[in-house]
Structure 1
Amino acid sequence: MARNDPIYKLVYFDLRGLGETARQIFAYAAVEYEDHRIKREDWPYQKDATPFRTLPYLEVDGEVIGQSNAICRFLARRFNLAGRDDLEQARVDALVDYVNDVRNGGLIGWFREEDKEKKEKLKAEYFNKTVHGYLETFEKHLKANTDSNAEYFVGSGPTWADIHIAILMGMLQDVEPTVLAKYPLLKAHKARVENLKGIKEWIQKRPKTAM
């Protein structure tokens, strides 16, 4: 790190979760940062000191940014992963917002459910029915991007939306390995992003966590 380079510190739990997109942006950009991981048992004592009483947050030369998408958008702009112009940036933001729709459309409810029988029912409903509408929409957007011959979602190269979506696809596959079987473009896109320089090396060396 050069003497005048910004000092970055990303604070999150020892999970991929909402911190993984920022980590992969750093990896792709080849920018050094501190990957600080908080233990679950320590979180209640640190919550009130965070910007929104949530994780992750990012420290940049002592300044603090909260909320995962705000962090990623900030990093993407710094590292040229936000889109080439206002229109591309809007398309990137729309795709990222749609990832939230996928999570809120049943995935989070399934993850948080503690009753075993209810959890299995929610999983079956989500992966047999609900998720496919979302995946069809992603596949359609990917196919429509003629600038990259359907290799990336916006423009001719990767943006942070590609990283964010590939991570989501990986999370879905962790739960249901065959979920992308009917979506060849999405499956190929995930593999392409995971093989990008920096991201490939990060995935190989990152801590092994439950999610």
Structure 2
Amino acid sequence: MARNDPIYKLVYFDLRGLAETARYIFAYAAVEYEDYRVKREEWPYQKDATPFRTLPYLEVDGDVIGQSNAICRFLAHRFNLAGHDDLQQARVDALVDYVNDVRTGGLIGWIREEDKEQKEKLKAEFFNKTVDVYLATFEKHLKANVDGNREYFVGNAPTWADFHIAILMGMLQEGEANVLAKYPLLKAHKARVDNLKGITDWIAKRPKTAM
């Protein structure tokens, strides 16, 4: 890193979770940053010092940005991963918002459930009744991107929406290995993102965590 380049510090728990898309952006852009991981026992004492009493947050030369999507959007604009014009950027943002719909529409519920019996019930309901609607919608959007030959969701080059969606697909596959069997475009898209320069190296070296 050159002396005058910005100094980035990404702060999150020792998880992939809400910080992983930002890590993909850094990896793809080949930009150095500090991947600081807060220990669970330390978090209660640090919470009040964060912008929104949440993680992750990003320090940029001492300035602090909170909220995971705001962090990713900032980095994506800085590293040319937000879309080439305002219409593409709106499409990227809409896809990212839809990932949040999936998370709040049942995914996080079963992941966070602690009761084993209830956890299995919620998981079965999500994968048997809910997830196909979301996956079919994602596949529809990918299929509609004829300008990008259906390789990426918006335009003909990766955006941070591609990273965000590929990470979500990975989470789903951890819950049900064959979840993408009926969605060949999504399955190929995830493999394409995972094999992008920088990202494939990050996946190989990143800490092994539960989520």
Alpha-carbon distance in 1 for matches of 2:39, 2:156: 40
Alpha-carbon distance in 1 for matches of 2:149, 2:127: 28
Q: Which residue identity does 1:29 align to in structure 2?
A: A
Partner residue, 2:147: 147
| 1:84 equivalenced with 2:84 (yes/no) | yes
Partner residue, 2:162: 162
Partner residue, 1:36: 36
Alpha-carbon distance in 1 for matches of 2:79, 2:114: 40
Q: How does 1:1-211 map to 2 (within 5 A)?
A: 1-211=1-211
Q: Deviations over 1:40-61 (max 9, x none)?
A: 1110010000000000000000
Give unpaired runs (5+ residues) of structure 2.
none
Alpha-carbon distance in 2 for matches of 1:11, 1:26: 14
Q: CA deviation at 1:154?
A: 0.1
Give unpaired runs (5+ residues) of structure 1.
none
The residue matched to 1:59 in structure 2 has which SS?
Answer: strand
Q: Deviations over 1:76-134 (max 9, x none)?
A: 00000000000000000000000000000011111121111111111000001101100
The residue matched to 1:5 in structure 2 has which SS?
Answer: coil
Alpha-carbon distance in 2 for matches of 1:180, 1:129: 15
The residue matched to 1:40 in structure 2 has which SS?
Answer: coil
- Using structure 2 for the length normalisation, give the TM-score: 0.99
Q: CA deviation at 1:161?
A: 0.1
Alpha-carbon distance in 2 for matches of 1:189, 1:99: 15
Alpha-carbon distance in 2 for matches of 1:109, 1:200: 29
How many percent identity over aligned positions? 86
Q: CA deviation at 1:64?
A: 0.1
Alpha-carbon distance in 2 for matches of 1:97, 1:200: 25
